[in-house]
Structure 1
Amino acid sequence: MSADFSAEAREAVYTAIARRRDVRHFRPGVELPAEVLERILGAAHLAPSVGYSQPWDFVLVRDRARRARIRQSFLRCREIEAERFSAERREKYLSLRLEGIEESSLNLCVTVDLRPTKEAILGTTVQPEALRWSACCAVQNLWLAARVEGVGVGWVSIVEPRVLRDELGLPPGVEPIAYLCVGYPVAFGARPLLEENGWRSRRPLASAVHDECYRAPLKQGDETP
């Protein structure tokens, strides 16, 4: 048994992980206190990174007009993505609430800096993509810290990176990793939203664990809930 954490502290960590949700419904007009945002960003900044590169930055987006333009990109992309599904699934897809860009307290873009450095970053010679994964670690730290603060986070991946680069003034070599809606939620669901509404079900852990070598996993039904 670890001497570093009490049983209550360990349980709190696992509880935060289990209760993290991708939030889409926010309480409009409820602002996020500066001290809460500072704690959440501080947790993100403590994430592990390849070669201690810390390749992330956090762009805070509050401007309503900018957020509205970014949402227009979401709407365009949603229409394109809808065409990938069968007619029945397309109808269900279009009924889903998949973002809270304008209702959330703020939007937050986590970026990754891929620009050349004077010295090679340790650990990236054969896996340079580890810089991107490091930025994803910052996203997850942020998400869990937000959850324990009672703050909801929603990851909007249905948006054009080109639009984000233009709207946020990202220089060449700095790429958006995650565009997040952040704010106080209407509620935290008992289960993940796409599980609650029957879009997908959770894979059993046993189907994701492989001894020594990868084996073909059990298939989920992609076309039926």
Structure 2
Amino acid sequence: MKISDAEKQALYKVIYSRRDVRKDFLADEIPNDVLARILQAGHHAPSVGFMQPWDFILVTQEQTKRVIKQGYEQARLESAQQFAQDKRSDYESFKLEGILEAPLGICVTCDRNRNGPVVIGRTIKPEMDLYSTVCAIQNMWLAARAENIGLGWVSIIHDDVLREALDIPEHLDIVAYLCLGYVSQFETKPELESLGWLPREDINQLIHKEKWRPKS
């Protein structure tokens, strides 16, 4: 099946306009058919040995979100101490999650034992199942953007908080907690780039021919 020029341009538009959304969420619920498309996009990600190690836990209850939010706040304070003083105040001023504002949370896990201990493609690099799960998340991120839905990845939280709040068994690895919802606007640039936290790297300094060479 050949991709048309219009479809190709639409794909690149989605890629370049994808954002890690942490604010401007609206209260509107995501329709079931739209959510199903986003989850199916995740489920159609490439996976090592076709093991499909992911599960998706949908979170809508306010009480559960408040427990997760409290865990985030504790981790945020802990994380702030790791930054140098000149960066700490900037870090503390950033809004880095939308746990309560987003109408939907999705916790993505990885079952590293799914389909047995020996998996094609994971025999030498056992972490490939985790990378596969991240591919599923990226598919969901792009699908959400195509649906004009914001998605943000909350990584500043300890796994044990999510494990207890969501009854996640010990044998599952927790890969991500995501916040999803319609938003009032999408930023034109990644927020941390706009705020001057870090610039976008020059891709010409990241491409190496034949062998790796240090950046000039």
Question: Could you state the TM-score of these two structures normalised by the residue count of structure 1?
Answer: 0.92
Equivalents in 2 of 1:174, 1:106: separation in Å?
21
- Is 1:187 the counterpart of 2:185? The answer is yes
How far the C-alpha of 1:162 sits from its partner, in A, is 1.0
Q: Is the 8 A contact 1:165 1:175 kept in 2?
A: no
Alignment equivalent of 1:127, drawn from 125, 128, 136: 125
Q: Which moved more, 1:78-87 or 1:50-59?
A: 78-87
Q: In structure 2, what residue type is equivalent to 1:204? A: D
Report the count of equivalent residues. 216
Secondary structure, in 3 states, of the residue corresponding to 2:49?
helix
Runs of 4+ in 1 over 4 A off after TM superposition: none
Alignment equivalent of 2:4, drawn from 3, 6, 10: 6
Q: In structure 1, what residue type is equivalent to 2:113? A: R
Equivalents in 1 of 2:30, 2:155: separation in Å?
23
Runs of 5+ unmatched residues, structure 2: none
How far the C-alpha of 1:28 sits from its partner, in A, is 4.1
How far the C-alpha of 1:79 sits from its partner, in A, is 0.8
User: CA deviation digits over 1:149-185, x for unaligned, max 9?
Assistant: 0000000000001111111111122111111000012
Secondary structure, in 3 states, of the residue corresponding to 1:200?
coil
Q: CA RMSD in A?
A: 1.4
Of all paired residues, the percent bearing the same amino acid is 42
Equivalents in 2 of 1:160, 1:101: separation in Å?
15
- Is 1:45 the counterpart of 2:43? The answer is yes
How far the C-alpha of 1:186 sits from its partner, in A, is 2.5
Equivalents in 2 of 1:102, 1:134: separation in Å?
28
Match of 2:80 in 1: 82
Alignment equivalent of 1:139, drawn from 137, 140, 147: 137
Q: Is the 8 A contact 1:26 1:183 kept in 2?
A: no
Match of 1:34 in 2: 32
Q: Is the 8 A contact 1:111 1:175 kept in 2?
A: yes
Match of 2:195 in 1: 197
- Structure 1 residues 118 and 89: alpha-carbon distance in aligned structure 2, compared to 1, 3 A threshold: closer
Equivalents in 1 of 2:62, 2:42: separation in Å?
25
